[in-house]
Amino acid sequence: MERYDVLIAGAGVTGGMIARELSRYNLSVCLLEKENDVACGATKANSGIIHGGHDPVPGTLKARLNAIGNPMLFEACRQLNVPHRRNESMVCAFGPDEEPAVDRLYQRGLENGIEGLEVITGDMARQLEPALSTQITKALLIKNSGIVCPYSLTIAAVGNAMDNGVTLKRNFEINKIEKTDGLFTVCSANGETVQGEYLINCAGCAADKIAAMAGDGFYTINPRAGEYMLMDKSEGGRVSRTIFQTPGKEGKGILVTPTVHGNLLTGPTAQAVDSGDSTFTSAQQLEKIQRLAAKSVPGVNFRQVITSFSGVRSSVDGGDFIIRMSDKVEKFAHVAAIDSPGLTCCVSIAVYVVDMLAQAGLKLTEKENWNGTREDPLAFSKMDMDQKNKVIAENPAYGKIVCRCETITEGEIMESLTRQPVALDLDGVKRRTRSGMGRCQGGFCSPYIMKLIAQHTGTDMTAVTKNGGSSYIAVHKL
């Protein structure tokens, strides 16, 4: 049986970043993920905001990890070549009733030790962002906040961890955990087993189930879905900053933000759902997004929507992250209830967890040859014409455009199939290359990409899936 020093349950941004952090040391680490790819949980579908840190209640773990995590994440994005931008954000008040909320958030930000906060008038806000509603009377400007592509970040973190020796097992849905002689034996739904001395639970919405399996299920995750609408790039320039509303009776409010890829994102809503898999959208919520987004930025053209989607928060009563060693099960670490601002905190959580494991007895000796950087997967697209022609001369596949909406070449698709963590399905290729993310949403390129996947893996087109499991695309050969 395979045996590791550390097992990590869940390859979202939390598990992925912890894996990368652990890969610095002489340890054997294995990341266990139930899906066919990394970043398929909350990490796939969220706002992608690197929060400034003004929002969490002072004194909480969230407040602390956000404050230190913000600059740490910017640094990691640079090392890992992940698309990100410090685009600043604003929390807007609509009229005198909401204005005190802006002042409260400002005070809270100061208490949390956040720099670069400024309270501005509605007119100043509109000077910075001319598309803002005339109803906005006051705003909090947050200069240290930014945007990042959350799944690119996780793919890069896991890829970098793998380059430094970490193992990733996919389609490994943990359904049993035993502990004997100081060793965890972890079994998957399809009968695989691995052993490890330490087990870190980063299973997102399923963290309560994993904790219960390990014998310390003291919390319940209350999954809360958030729906979004993503607009074509033609809407991407509507605003430059992320525009929040003050928290009100309809939750934290709907934001309007550019994405690092140049689209415009609106959402999220907030409603209780059954599980982390409840990622459906509903007419009612999509209607609400349009109404509330238009409140901040009246000009948003919702006819330019290219897709809608939903992500599920792994919230708990009390609201703070649960990050601690188990009181009951030795060497079992809870990293649970990582809802917003979990993405922002991924690096600070990882460092915090590794410290915690060290205190619990994990021996950390640094690798001599650890390399924390990862080559830019978008390198080709950033080249000038002469450089591109050199690459094409060596590998003509880089001359062939496969995805016309996003201008992605066959060479880049092949890269996504060969570079760790390799893409195994259409969605995996899409997240790594952006092929199929444009306005035609894969209508033209998906058959061609299916063919490339089939050729590369030596299977038939009928074995190619959208996202693993039974998500096959072609049912039989004619």
Partner 1 sequence: MIKHDIVIVGGGPAGMAAAVAAYDRGVTDVVIIDREDTPGGILRQCIHNGFGLHKLGQELTGPEYATVYAVKVAERGIKVYTGTTVLSVTQDRIVTATGREGIVQIQAGAVVLTMGCRERSRGALNTPGTRPAGVFSAGTAQKLINIDGYMPGKKAVILGSGDIGLIMARRMTLEGAKVEAVCEIMPYSGGLTRNIVQCLEDYDIPLYLGTTVVEIHGKKRLEGVTIAQVDENRREIPDTRRYIECDTLLLSVGLVPENELTIAAGISMDRVTGGAIVDENCHTEISGIFARGNVLHVHDLVDYVSDEAERAGCGAADYVKNGVQAGEYIPVKAVGGVRYVIPQHINRNATGEISLFMRVAQPSGKARITARQGETILATATKLKTAPGEMEKLIIRPGLLGTGEITVEIEQL
Write out the residues near ligand FAD by the rule CB under 6 A: 9-15, 32-35, 40-43, 46-49, 51, 172-174, 202-206, 210, 226, 268, 311-313, 338-344
Positive or negative, the CA dihedral 445, 451, 454, 457 is negative
Best CA proximity match to 273, nearest among 222, 315, 227, 334:
222
> Which residue in 247, 397, 419, 420 binds partner 1 (CB under 8 A)?
397
**Kind and range of the H or E element at 105?**
helix 99-111
Asked if 444 touches partner 1 (CB under 8 A), the answer is yes
Cα–Cα distance between 281 and 234 in angstroms, integer? 23
Instruction: Work out whether 388 is an interface residue with partner 1 (CB under 8 A).
Output: yes
Whether residue 51 lies in the annotated active site: yes
**Residue 439: C-alpha distances to residues 101, 208, 307, 465 (Å):** 38, 38, 9, 21
The answer to whether 36 and 168 are in contact (CB under 8 A) is no
Alpha carbons 365 and 27: distance in angstroms, whole number: 8
Q: Which tokens belong to 147?
A: 């945007």
- Please tell me the distance from the alpha carbon of residue 226 to that of residue 273, in angstroms, as a whole number: 10
- Burial status of residue 101 (CB atoms within 10 A of its CB: 0-12, 13-18, 19 or more): middle
Q: How many CB atoms lie within 10 A of CB 102?
A: 21
Out of 282, 288, 316, 329, point to the residue binding partner 1 (CB under 8 A).
Answer: 282
- Please report whether residue 257 would count as binding partner 1 according to CB under 8 A: no
Does residue number 462 form part of the binding site for partner 1 (CB under 8 A)? yes
Q: Nearest approach, Cβ of 435 to ligand FAD (angstroms)? A: 22
Question: What is the C-alpha separation between 377 and 433, in angstroms, rounded?
Answer: 8
Tokens in use for 423? 């893409």
Q: Judged by CB under 8 A, does residue 306 bind partner 1? A: yes
Q: Which does 229 bind (CB under 5 to 8 A by kind): ligand FAD, partner 1, none?
A: partner 1
Q: Stretches 86-94, 107-115, 137-145, 278-286: which one binds partner 1 (CB under 8 A)?
A: 278-286
What's the min distance (Å) between Cβ of 142 and ligand FAD? 13
For residue 202, the partner it binds in ligand FAD, partner 1, none, with Cβ less than 5 to 8 A by kind, is: ligand FAD
- Identify which of residues 122 and 342 has a Cβ nearer to ligand FAD in the complex: 342
Q: Is 46 in the site for partner 1 (CB under 8 A)?
A: no
**Residue 286 binds what, of ligand FAD, partner 1, none (CB under 5 to 8 Å, by partner type)?**
partner 1
Return residues touching partner 1 (CB under 8 A): 229-230, 277, 279-283, 286, 305-309, 385, 388-389, 392-393, 396-397, 399-401, 404-405, 407, 409, 439-444, 446-447, 451, 461-462, 465-478
Residue positions annotated with a catalytic role? 51
